Amino acid sequence: MEATSVEDIQETCRIASAHGVPVVTRGAGTGLVGGGIAGVGEIVLSTRAMDRVLRVSVENRLAVVEPGVINAELNRQLAERGLWWAPDPASRGISTVGGNVATNAGGLLCAKYGVTRESVLSLKVVLAGGQLISVGHDTVKGVTGLDLCALMIGSEGTLGVIAECTLKLRPLVRGSVATISAYFSSVERAAQAAAAIVAAGLTPAVMELLDRRTLECVSRYSGLDLLARGDSLLLVQTDGTGAVAEAETVHALVMAAGGAAELTTDPDESARLMAVRREAFPAIESLGTLLVEDVAVPLDRMSAVFERVRELEERYDLIIPTACHAGDGNLHPAFAFQGDEVPEAVWNAAEELFEYALELGGTLSGEHGIGLLKRRWLKDELGDVQMAIQRQIKAVFDPAGILNPGKVFSPQS
């Protein structure tokens, strides 16, 4: 079913509810945990055709949009008004705003500008029975009732269907953009340098870390000999009116930490340096099929996770290139294998990594969500009591269990 209006969503949910038919809401399908996959006998409700920007208010710094609006297209239109919506997932060129909201999407800019939740004011949501509710506030302040808007963000289609989004906007960032590229002799040293930058009170717009395996892939993909410069790469961008001064401080810190660093404010040179990061996953895909994970840990524990990844590679005879949003401690180990079936060794190694991230005070997912892929480990993080509470919340919004069944929560025995 391709919805073109809120009424289409409501009618679909009414019919599905009356007949007990499951509904799986789908945007652009860019998710990495199987959250938008439907099974036999389930309705796929696509909101991709609902792609209008309904209203932009410069005075209130907000935009009202339909869920099918493409992230990058929204920002193209907003730029004409001197505004910007901050969420910046890697899939922004094809991912939808509704999908960003449903998964609480992240990206490269989260440490400074926040995840999607920080950029949503209110939502219109269709419940399982077809009722339309408005949650959140279009005002800067608003504390009436429980925050159901925050509850909907990241709920992965299990509580309702997002039908309209009122988004919190920012003025376009003015001033320079400065880029620092620093190669280190080990990924642990690079991770420690990233933690030192944050400890110094700095908040770069972008801070990305690539390990040796990733640099090997990018070298083959691009034809550059990146490993001649070091075993890991830390890329940092600063923006705004104080960008240059901040970048100079970052440059001094990474040099003191043993990095071989260069700094530029030239846009073309900056794009060249950042291309290494943007080519990382296309390059890694050349290894075969990938299980791309996204654990997140406190910043001072990142180096420990990289160490564990190397140990898992050796013990399970795997290749696991790992990139990291070093500004927020979100790591993306990519377990490479051949064929369509995930080998048992990959699942075992991934499980050990999940458990280790939790031991370090981290989380199973920084931005990809739970979906089908990680539901078996959700109780490990939440515990029995909170898991039961979350199931009860799901039942309040969707008593018949027809919204995206089997996602996030494993079927109960």
Give the number of other CB atoms < 10 A from CB of residue 90. 17
Pairing of the two strands 23-26 and 43-46: parallel
pLDDT, one tens digit per residue, over 109-146 is 999 999 999 999 999 999 999 999 999 999 989 999 99
> Looking at 176-301, which runs of residues are DSSP E strands?
176-184, 206-210, 232-240, 260-264, 289-292
pLDDT of amino acid 286: 93
pLDDT of amino acid 377: 95
Distance CA 187, CA 179 (A): 19
Residues 6+ apart with CB under 8 A from 58: 81, 82, 83
pLDDT of amino acid 90: 85
Which segments of the chain have a pLDDT < 50?
413
Give me the residue label for tokens 């999908």. 99
Number of residues in the chain: 413
Burial class (CB in 10 A: 0-12, 13-18, 19+), 162: buried
- How many CA atoms are closer than 13 Å to the CA of 317, on its beta-carbon side? 2
pLDDT of amino acid 216: 96
Give domain limits for the chain: 6-171, 176-359
Alpha-carbon dihedral angle through residues 35, 51, 109, 377, given to the nearest 10 degrees: -10
Q: What is the CATH number of domain 176-359?
A: 3.40.462.10
58 φ/ψ sector (left φ>0, alpha ψ -120 to 50, else beta): alpha
Q: What is the CATH number of domain 6-171?
A: 3.30.465.10
Alpha-carbon dihedral angle through residues 193, 198, 203, 209, given to the nearest 10 degrees: 30
DSSP 355: H
Distance CA 360, CA 99 (A): 29
pLDDT of amino acid 411: 79
pLDDT of amino acid 54: 98
